[in-house]
Every structure is written in structure tokens, then in C-alpha cells.
Amino acid sequence: MTNITGARTAAAEESLMISDLIIPADANARDADEFCRMVEVGNRMAARDAGIDDLDETAEQLLPGWLDQTDRVRRGFVARRGTAIAGFGSLTTSAQPGTTTAELELAVPSHEWDTGVAQMLLARIEQEARDMGRSVAQTWSLHPAASDGRILTPATGWGAASSTQLTDLLEAQGYTFEQIERNSVLHLSSALTHLEERLAEATTTAGPDYRTVVWTLPTPPHLRTGYGSVIARMATDVPSGDLVYEQEAWDDDRVARRDAQFAAGGQTMSVAAVVHEPTGEMVAFNELMIGSDLTGVTHQWGTLVAREHRGKRLGTIVKCANLLRWRGIAPDSPKVSTFNAEENRPMLDINEAIGFVPASYAGGWQKQLS
């Protein structure tokens, strides 16, 4: 384990200054350099730790979520040594009253880790969380598909991952390794004709009580209430170990705001959902998203089957229906990337049957703030 305290030099500590991140009105604005650099450093850190570059994001995609903070509050920080930027940190938390959790993120170049920049940024973000009344800090680490070196096992007991500079820091600062999520990819260049057969079989198993609906954002007004209800259940119906997830209110207006943020970021999202006809409730959904470059990686966002409707093969229905639809939306996208908890064997079984294979891993960390 890296000796964080011992590695920090007195000179670095004296000259290091942390200030608030400037949030530009546009990714091409004159004052957008800091924000764009934060995204760039974050992408490099993700690629280094995960061993792949599938997880890259763009400033254009992320900025709308920083500009509209109606539902989620974001704070950014820049560490400087003189005029040179040494690293970035950010905090994201729900704007809902009574929220206790805050998600933290660091974007620090490799050559700066031994100077104490990451430790000082983490301390600054934790203090911001306390000042906002949050008592639980959470963050995620990335790991390559092949584990080597010192191996970490999460509290759930499912999966394992190699230690990284970030995990060394988190352990040293009192974070607990709670959960591992598997990042899987489906290569779209391979034949996907089996999806039609799987979809037909699953639809027959589900029976006439379940109806599939599909759309491309923005969400039609008559579907917003149902869509918001299943998004809200991501906090309660998805395996999360001991990570604290607080259920948030999702009304029609919030769904519309979320749709608008995706559109402002140049992103296209397709949704496949299942409606339970006897009740009229939306009980399952799957989201596929791609940025303005339709030849880039497709990302699966949310996938959920409501607890009381499991065992009907609804997960297979929404995944297959959306993937088949996706070929007409982004035919040149090479792959789909998705994350699922290692203990979520039912969803991993569906993924593996479709053709997803492991590509990297993510670790969920948590700390009680005093």
C-alpha cells in the first residue's frame, strides 16, 4: 500500500491551492478550459485503471448536468501548484431534502499521486459534503478485467479486483470496499440474429399481461409517470450490498428535465419498457445511449425489472427489444458497454446468454463522515 502521508513533500503541500471549479455556460466558451481539462484527466485516469478506453466521456455530454442542478447538486474543485493544474475533484448529491449521501470523484494525473494532491482534494470534498449535511461519502474505483498484484475482495464477498493508486488512498482514508460491479461489453459486429428468437421465447413466457413499448427520448408525455416510477426503483430494487441508496422522487417534470439534459449533451437514448396491462404500471425498462458520434461506444444506462414481476423473462424482453431497435439508430456503433453487480446473477445470466463478455470492473466504496 502506498504511504500517502510519507510521499507528500512539504514543498508540494505549501504551494498547493484548491479552488472552486469554473462551470462554463458552454463547452466551447472562453472559460471552459478548466472543465474540459477535468473531463480529459478523468478519462485518462479511467483508461489507466480499467485498462480500456470504452468509458470516455466528453465535456459536451457532462456539462448539461452541471448547469441544471434542480435535482442533483454538483460541486467541482481544482488543485493548482502555482499556475499549473495538479488535479480535480467533484461532489454529486441529490437536492432532495433529507439526503445523507454524497458521491465523490477524483481526477488526478498519475505523476501527481505521490505529491499528496489526491489526498488533499479528497479531504476538501469530504468537508464540502459535511458542510452540506451529508453523513455518508461514496465513490467508485475502476479495475482491469485481469487481476494481478494485491487483490481486494468486497464486503459482499462477490468478485475481486486489483488494488490501484485510488484504492490505496481510499483504504488509507477509512473507506470500506463494499461491492464490485462487472463491466461487460457486447460486440455489435457479430451476428445478433439470436436476439429475435430469444425475444419471441421470452414474450411467450411472459404472456399477454405484459406489453412492450419503445421510444427515443424525449419521453412521450403519457409515458413519463411510468418511466419515472421504474427509474426511482433503481435505488431499491438493484443489488447494492451495504451501499446506502436513497429513493428519490421522480415526477413527470423530472423525467422531462433528464431528457433535456441528454439532448443538450448531444446524446441519443432509446428506451424499451414493459407495461403490466392489468395495472397499467411500467414494470421493466432498458436504456441504450450514445453520444453525438454515432460510431462510438454505446452505453447501457439503466435496466430494471420490478421485484414483484421477476421470473417472467422481462429482463430478456427489454434488453433484446432495445438491442434490435438500436441497429437502426446507431448501426456503426461497435459495442455496447454495461455495468451490473457481481451478485446480480439473474441479470448477468441474461447478458451472457445474449453475448456480453467481461471487460473491466468497478468497485463501490463508502465512508461514514464524522
pLDDT tens per residue, range 277-335: 999 999 999 999 999 999 999 999 999 999 999 999 999 999 999 999 999 999 999 99
Over residues 117-154, the pLDDT tens digits come to 999 999 999 999 999 999 999 999 999 998 788 999 99
Provide the pLDDT for residue 83: 87
Provide the pLDDT for residue 147: 79
Provide the pLDDT for residue 9: 45
Q: Percentage of residues in the chain with pLDDT exceeding 90?
A: 89
Give yes or no for a cis peptide into 218 (omega within 30° of 0): yes
The residue with cell 490505496 is: 168
Averaged pLDDT of the chain: 94
Separation of alpha carbons 118 and 169, rounded Å: 8
Q: Percentage of residues in the chain with pLDDT exceeding 70?
A: 96
Confidence of residue 14 (pLDDT cuts 50, 70, 90): low
Question: Best-predicted range by mean pLDDT among 111-115, 162-166, 240-244?
Answer: 162-166
- 151 close to 43: Cβ distance less than 8 angstroms: no
Separation of alpha carbons 269 and 219, rounded Å: 10
Confidence of residue 6 (pLDDT cuts 50, 70, 90): very low
Over residues 238-268, the pLDDT tens digits come to 888 889 999 999 999 999 999 999 999 999 9
Separation of alpha carbons 117 and 84, rounded Å: 12
**H or E stretch covering 366:** strand 357-368
Threshold 0.85, pTM exceeds: yes
Provide the pLDDT for residue 149: 80
What does CATH list as the number for 190-333? 3.40.630.30
Tell whether the model's pLDDT for residue 3 goes beyond 90.
Answer: no
Provide the pLDDT for residue 77: 98
- 72 close to 246: Cβ distance less than 8 angstroms: no
Over residues 183-225, the pLDDT tens digits come to 999 999 877 889 999 999 999 999 999 999 999 999 999 999 9
Where do the structural domains in the chain lie, given as residue ranges?
A: 4-182, 190-333
Fold classified for 4-182: Aminopeptidase (3.40.630)
Angle ∠(105,152,167) on CA atoms, nearest 5:
25
Provide the pLDDT for residue 309: 97
- Average pLDDT for residues 37-51, to the nearest whole number? 96
Tell whether the model's pLDDT for residue 63 goes beyond 90.
Answer: yes
Confidence of residue 1 (pLDDT cuts 50, 70, 90): very low
4-182 shares its CATH topology with 190-333 = yes
Separation of alpha carbons 315 and 335, rounded Å: 19
Tell whether the model's pLDDT for residue 8 goes beyond 70.
Answer: no
